[in-house]
Each structure stands twice: as structure tokens, then as C-alpha cells.
């Protein structure tokens, strides 16, 4: 019997590959607005982040982050201060987990 294909995506912050359903999509709509896409079906250019506050803080670049954060680079947009604040507000509801050692996964 064939196994069902599970789409894989990469978190733009930690670069871990995970099943698409385990990540949260952020989308740049055709009008340029950056929003969280919880359905994963919104039109526009998308990027994925883990369901972890640490990845969001790294991906968005923090409130005083660099002009080119991993998320901004992936979406090919310059995040406005309002976009950063809105995304980090969303991230506050997410759990914070301890970062995993990449070498530990190889064992």
C-alpha cells in the first residue's frame, strides 16, 4: 500500500525541514501586505516559521532587528515597523522551546 505524500517545508529562521502542517505560513499578499496565513491557502508569496517564539523572533528580526531579516528576505519585502510589531505580537502566543543541537539530531 502506498503512503500518502506529506509536503515538507523549511523554517526560514532555524532552517529545519518539517511537515507543512507543523509550520505557520506568513504571506505577502499581492497588495504588499504581510500577514499570518493560518489556513496556508492565501494568495501571495509565502514563507514558513516553526510554532516556536524563538524562531519567530529570529525570523522577524525583533523590533530593533536588521533591515533584512530571514523572513523579509524570503518574502522579498522590507518589513515595516508595523509589520514587525504585528508579527511579534502573534508570536507572543506561541510557546518557547529550548533550541535543539543540530548534531544531536544526527545521532
Domain extents in the chain:
8-95
70-97 tens-digit pLDDT: 999 999 999 999 999 999 999 999 988 7
Residues in the chain, total:
107
Please report which confidence band the pLDDT of residue 49 belongs to, taking 50, 70 and 90 as the band edges.
very high
CATH number, span 8-95 = 3.30.1230.10
Give the model confidence (pLDDT) of 96-107 as tens digits: 875 554 444 443
Average pLDDT over residues 44-72: 86
Amino acid at each position: 500500500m502506498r503512503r500518502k505524500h506529506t509536503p515538507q517545508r523549511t523554517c526560514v529562521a532555524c532552517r529545519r525541514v518539517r511537515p507543512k502542517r507543523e509550520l505557520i505560513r506568513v504571506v505577502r499578499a499581492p497588495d504588499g501586505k504581510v500577514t499570518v496565513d493560518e489556513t496556508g491557502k492565501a494568495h501571495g508569496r509565502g514563507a514558513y516559521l516553526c510554532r516556536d517564539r524563538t524562531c519567530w523572533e529570529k525570523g522577524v528580526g525583533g523590533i530593533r532587528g536588521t533591515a533584512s531579516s530571514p523572513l523579509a528576505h524570503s518574502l522579498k519585502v522590507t518589513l515595516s515597523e508595523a509589520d514587525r510589531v504585528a508579527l511579534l505580537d502573534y508570536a507572543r502566543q506561541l510557546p518557547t522551546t529550548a533550541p535543539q543541537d543540530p548534531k544531536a539530531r544526527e545521532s
